[in-house]
Amino acid sequence: MSKFRKFAAPALAAALLASPALAEKLGLGRAALPEEVAAWDHDVRPDGLGLPEGSGDALTGEELFSENCAVCHGEFGEGVGRWPVLAGGFNTLNRADPVKTVGSYWPYASTVWDYVHRSMPFGNAQTLSNDEVYAIVAYILYSNDLIEDDFVLSKDTLAEVQMTNADGFIEDDRDTLELPAFIREPCMENCKESVEITAHATVLDVTPEDSGDPATEVAQAEPEAAPAEAPVAEAPAAEAAEPETAAADPAMLEAGAKVFKKCAACHKVGDGAKNATGPMLNGIVGRAAGSVEGFKYSNPMTGAADAGLIWTPETMAEFLANPKGYMKGTKMSFAGLKKQEEIDAVIAYLGTFGG
């Protein structure tokens, strides 16, 4: 508390001196002009009061988010490194390690707008126009399945957004319920009837008696396991899976690799590719839907697989153009590729990776 007071006192004094009453009394400065107050008055209330004119949708926001936000937050709000995750985390707030995102934790959509407008992009704050902020916030909300991709966000429609955790906050009553428990008269002597030693570390077996632990000695004495021999059929199998890329257009493959960067945060391809947020995509072209071993698919994808969906170039193109429109309820939050040449290029690129 003393450290807080040390730093808070000068700020409090400065605020008091800046008030019109004290300024006039002490002869310091002048009252702020209305236009000067307006220049700093950017706050937006939880009910949306203070939102400016402007509008934007998720489709527009996707490109803006990719340009301004994805370097820290990932293309789909999944977070990069230690930067915050913005999407997902539903049904985790009752865990010891909750994932607090805009979708799972934030109670007000207006607060998201206010924060993005004031503080983002990181290192270049307040450079976005109102329309751009609305579009980026729309994309974040869409990534959390809170709005549809064609929902136009504005000061008139933002209040319609129902946040998942809107009812998850309570009034802070610690000053009346908890504070009294910490300010009662402390006990300084004879606070317990008796003090007894109930156990020793050696009795609890948490401290080794000596360095010659028999279990350790046995483990060290065991010989190292011989390296497993490589399967004889491994090399021919690799050759059989070698993709045929001779007929592929190098320019299209290069374009496809560039487009795939939008997918790489969740999907992996190439040697050693493993399942991540989404399934690995080696051998995806021509493969049955929902068939990657070890990945837990959504119910809609499992249903499509049971119905016999095959990822041909044609079905992939339909899915990539509008994932949620093609398959209602899919877990993939990507809004889709809007240019046919990008769709064709990424399908061609994926076709170069065998199963």
Does residue 90 sit within a domain?
A: yes
Closest CA to 333 of 116, 82, 122, 102: 102
Residue 43 falls inside a structural domain: no
In this structure, is residue 79 part of a structural domain?
Answer: yes
Backbone angles phi, psi at 36, to 5 degrees: -70, -40
* Residue finishing a domain among 110, 144, 160: 160
Max mean pLDDT range (3-7, 179-183, 323-327): 323-327
For residue 308, give the CATH number of its domain.
1.10.760.10
Q: How confident is the model at residue 233 (pLDDT cuts 50, 70, 90)?
A: very low
Q: Is residue 18 part of a domain?
A: no
pLDDT value of position 4: 36
- Is the model's pLDDT at 83 over the cut of 70? yes
Report pLDDT digits (tens) over 331-353.
Answer: 776 778 878 999 999 899 999 99
How far is residue 68's CA from residue 235's CA, in Å, rounded to a whole number? 45
The Cα–Cα gap between 104 and 28 comes to 48
- Please give the residue range of the domain that contains residue 124: 55-160
Backbone angles phi, psi at 62, to 5 degrees: -60, -45
Q: Domain for residue 204, yes or no?
A: no
277 domain-assigned: yes
Instruction: Compute the half-sphere exposure of residue 132: CA atoms within 13 Å on the CB side of its CA.
Output: 17
Contacts of 288 (CB under 8 A, 6+ apart): 305, 308, 309, 310, 311
Convert the pLDDT of each residue in 275-324 to its tens digit.
987 899 999 999 999 899 888 888 889 889 999 999 999 999 999 988 88
Residue range 38-59, pLDDT digits in tens:
888 888 998 899 999 999 999 9
Of 105, 130, 160, the one marking the end of a domain is: 160
**Range among 2-11, 73-82, 241-250 with highest mean pLDDT value:** 73-82
**pLDDT tens digits along 131-175:** 999 999 999 999 999 999 899 999 999 999 999 999 999 888 888
Residue 85 has pLDDT above 50, yes or no: yes
Q: Which 3 state secondary structure label does DSSP give 71?
A: helix
Q: Into how many domains does the chain fold?
A: 2
Residue 14 lies in a domain: no
% the chain with pLDDT above 70: 79
Of 112, 129, 160, the residue at which a domain comes to its end is: 160
pLDDT in tens, 98-114: 999 999 999 999 999 99
Give the tens place of pLDDT for each residue, 167-220: 999 888 888 888 887 887 888 888 888 888 777 766 556 655 555 544 444 444
Bigger pLDDT: 3 vs 197: 197
- 3-state DSSP helix/strand/coil percent for the chain, to nearest 5? 40, 0, 55
Q: Looking at the structure, tell me whether residues 59 and 156 fall in a common domain.
A: yes
Residue 301 lies in a domain: yes
